[in-house]
Homo-oligomer: A and B are copies of this chain.
Amino acid sequence: MTGDRRDEREFLADYDPRDYDPVSVTVDVVALTIRDEVLHVLLVRRAHPPFAGMWALPGGFVRGVRDAEGLPEAAVRELAEETGLSAGPTGGNGPLDRVHLEQLATYGAPGRDPRMRVISVAYLAFAPELPDPEAGGDAAEAAWAPVGSLGLTGTGEQRPGTTRRLAFDHSRILADGLERARAKLEYTPLATAFCAPEFTIPELRAVYEAVWGEELHAGNFHRKVLSVPGFVESTGATAERTGRRGGPRPRLYRAGDARLLHPALLRPSREEEIR
């Protein structure tokens, strides 16, 4: 036992991490929100090569040793640095405090960054409506872009002729993030992460319609949401204005305590994706 411990100490002292062919690690964030009932993603325009002038997901290098930070912390930091949206200090109330953040996937194909070997850990964020971002850090510009304007194909490429070209493999990362978002809305209550703390059922339906890109039957949706235990809970209040073109004032709800929807809200018509 004592011998083991001495071996371990000697081993650690002799250890040079650079012997192990270190690669660089970045985080990139697919940050989604709903504006004017349309799904938007946060993009920055790159100020420097490679891909200078092209658009990209906000992201950057993880601080590995000095000021070593965890991966989700790096994601929040990059989001804040490059867009000017700030997360308040623990328990604060900056605009990023109410975002849902989850890990999406990691992308590491050799050659995906022309400079060097880079592994990128992608995160997915769901945000309620946020202010317009301000460019910072490496970004020449930052904006919420309607997802539909990016010409994404089913295979994660951009259609020729799309004006905002995405750098690196970010169109694939974005496509993966969108598919994850669509799936998460089926079996989790995360649609509420796109809403204000209090929301109406029609607002929630607008979230589903924006993310799924399909119209949903208002009556059936309404009953379904209320029938899933813990999805939403009533505030007892009624919205001030209908916000739409007419009709009665809808009631207000807040997110319930469910972490999973049971039964789930399944997307209609997925026949093509099954085979």
Q: Which residues of A contact B (CB under 8 A)?
A: 4-5, 7-9, 11-13, 15, 17-18, 20-25, 48-50, 52-53, 60-66, 68-71, 81, 103, 105-106, 108-110, 114-117, 119, 121, 136-138, 229-230, 257-260, 262, 270, 273-275
Contacts and interface: CB of A to CB of B under 8 A. Distances in A.
Nearest to A113: B17
Contact of A61 (B17, B106, B230, B259): B17
Contact of A9 (B13, B64, B138): B138
A260 B61 CA distance: 36
Given A12-B115, A103-B105, 19 more contacts: A7-B52, A8-B137, A12-B60, A17-B61, A18-B18, A21-B62, A21-B63, A22-B22, A23-B24, A25-B108, A62-B108, A70-B110, A71-B108, A71-B109, A106-B106, A229-B274, A230-B274, A259-B275, A260-B273
Q: What is the interface of chain A mostly: helix, strand, loop, or mixed? A: loop
A28 to B, nearest CB: 12
Given A12-B49, A48-B11, A49-B11, A68 B110 contact: yes
